[in-house]
Amino acid sequence: MPTIKQLLVVIKFVYFCRLVYDSFTVPFFNMSITHLILVAFKPEAEAEAVRKVCSGVLALKDNCLTADTKTPYIKSITGGINSSPEGFTNGYTYAFVVEFNSTEDRDYYVKQDTAHRSLVDGALPYIQQLCIVDYTPGVF
């Protein structure tokens, strides 16, 4: 029968292993990419044009397809109009969050995806200002 001291050593070891595992799983095994888009539309942009751009961004979840298998590759997309009471919007009125499973998926989206390129080309005439930030969750 193990002693209390031996059990405590095992518990500490298991706890230590869990800490080490957690420190590696976020940056090395969960390499999803979050793509944050902040948008300020031009004041003269009509409401219908803004609605069309916003719904077009959300539709990218189904419209962006891999080149080889022609299947959707975007993990998720959310977005909406700013509702923050903090007053630090710097003029941005809409935000979108696009999540990719990998850097490769994000790179394909940014550089090659025709559905994305088409939406960007159609939206730019209505956009006054953009801010785009990509990050890997948990990597600082």
**pTM, to two decimals:** 0.78
- Domain 31-135: CATH architecture, name and number where available: 2-Layer Sandwich (3.30)
Give SS3 for 137: coil
Cβ atoms of 74 and 105 closer than 8 Å? yes
Walking along the chain (140 residues) 10 residues at a time, the average pLDDT comes out as 63 63 53 96 98 98 96 97 95 97 96 97 98 94
Cα–Cα separations (whole angstroms), residue 2 to 5, 9, 71, 97, 105: 8, 11, 55, 52, 51
Amino acid 24: pLDDT? 54
